[in-house]
Amino acid sequence: MLELNIVDESKNIWHIKFSGAQDTLYAGEQFTLHFRFDDKYPFEAPEVKFIGTPPLHEHIYANGFICLSTLDKDWTPALTTANVVLSILSMLSSATVKQEPPDNARSTAWMNKLSGPKAVTWEYHDLKC
């Protein structure tokens, strides 16, 4: 189930709450995604990050930033917010172990100095992100 909360309509900020899928490592856990849509949307991806406590996952950093190609180089204007949430849910559901990214501490420190996750130049190391 998805729960949408439009936080600031003038700034196009949405919060979407969702639960981890049944029979996965994240079953029953609740998560909140922060979406910020700029004037380039839908031709460029919205800024998306976890707020609150992000899930422990190899492609999700402690600051909530998500390494997912759909939010970057594989973005297409045909994608909806529901598609983005489904992609993130799928990424979580495919995890076989809860673990932080190998470079979490170092990367989170410099990422926090950026304007947001869209300012990161992501390197995709596997097909899961």
Task: For 17-51, give one letter per residue: b (16+ CB within 10 A) or e.
Answer: bbebeeeebbeeeebbbbbbbeeeeeeebbbbbbe
* Active-site annotation holds for 67: yes
Neighbours of 56 (CB within 10 A): 17
Nearest to 100 by CA among 53, 59, 69: 59
Q: Which of 16, 33, 67, 84 is catalytic?
A: 67
Catalytic residues: 67
